[in-house]
Amino acid sequence: MPAIIDPVATIELAKRVATRPTWAEVSLTALRQNFRTVQKHIGSGVTVCAIVKADAYGHGAVECSRALEEEGVRWFGVTSLDEAIPLREAGIRGRILLLTGFWRGEEEEIVRLHLTPTVWEPGQIELFEKAAARLSAKHSVHLKVDTGMGRLGASPQDLRHISAALKSAAHLVVEGLSTHLASSEILDAPSVAEQLQSFEQVRQFLRNEGIDPPLVHAANTGAVISRRESWNTMVRPGIALYGYFLPFERAGREVSGSGLRLGVKPVLTWKTRILSLRDVRANQALGYGGIYVTKAPARIAVLPVGYADGFNRALSSRGRVIVREHYAPIVGRISMDLTLVDVTGLPGIEVGDEAILLGSSEGLSVDAREHAALANTVLYEILCGISKRVPRRHVS
């Protein structure tokens, strides 16, 4: 008679047993400090809406939101209802803003969970008004206007219709007004000033219509750092909370300065362990396609991490890791589950030694900005791309 497998017990065993030594450590201490740094920078009179969408940019939305709420954050920004539900289930009591609105049929659940949707079309306002009326509830919404990003938001030309719809919605309260800046990291981009001017005109129009929301927000991380005039009464930092911001540019060239820095520190460290060590001869091709060939005898460490974990394939034969306080270059193509690094001449290397994929040690550092530059992408993609099969360990 075949053995009977208990699926519940199997799942619980999988949760307890770390079968693959590749993980990401998320410092909640650093996260809390980054929030305090942002709040100090903007002052106590401006509300922070902490952006925790995309699983807090790959850092773990529930755990990060808990730490931030304990630190005093009152607003959280997520993409949609499906990202908000786990936060409520985890006991997050703060306000949650749905940045991309809602799908038809989600309205009543949004009301029940006390979530705040973003709206920009009369049809959305009508749907949400009906849901609030059915549940006999007054409910807050944030109106988004498109001042030049060209994605979501009401156009200034549609404001008269939007205003009429909002004023006729007896169960809705317009608590917020928002827009999104397209080029906040480009210091000489004329579009930013144009967007802010358009936003102010929208705000004045709505005031004249009797709509004057207390929460007005346009600033993302870049604008939080560089454009004080965009702060209004609320800001929406995302990547700064996790220890990064994009480089600032002027006339297509990167610029820096004390006024363009924020003292935040990366929150996430990504680690693995050496799975195997191999001594190879000179002229040995390594990995798929043999794109890397050793020039001399070499010692190669095999790491149990690959592009299925989000370790970007563009780092093949270009990136580096940190092993025993030394840089070790990636050699050959990164494969789905494995990566090769050259540890020739490094002292005391053993199977089981830690390798830092993202992070720092003894003055050495490999961060998401470096990965992004090598992969010709943005650091957001590097962090969000760390896959679900890499467990997050949240530490204080």
Pairwise CA distance, residues 274 & 350, whole Å: 7
Tokens 């929150």, located at residue: 267
- Choosing from 138, 167, 288, 388, the catalytic residue is 288
Contact residues for 152 (Cβ-Cβ < 8 A; gap 6+) = 100, 101, 118, 120, 144, 146, 180
The secondary structure of 256-289 as a DSSP string is --GGG-------EEEEEE--EEEEE-TT-EESGG
Among 192, 211, 195, 194, smallest CA distance to 203 is for 211
Looking only at the bridges linking them, the beta strands covering 276-280 and 253-255 are: unpaired
Residue 40 annotated to the active site: no
Pairwise CA distance, residues 54 & 118, whole Å: 17
- Choosing from 15, 53, 244, 271, the catalytic residue is 53
Helix (H) or strand (E) holding 30: helix 28-42
On the 0-12 / 13-18 / 19+ scale of CB atoms within 10 A, 340 is buried
Tokens 């709505």, located at residue: 206
Helix (H) or strand (E) holding 109: helix 107-112
Residue 53 annotated to the active site: yes
Active site residues: 53, 288
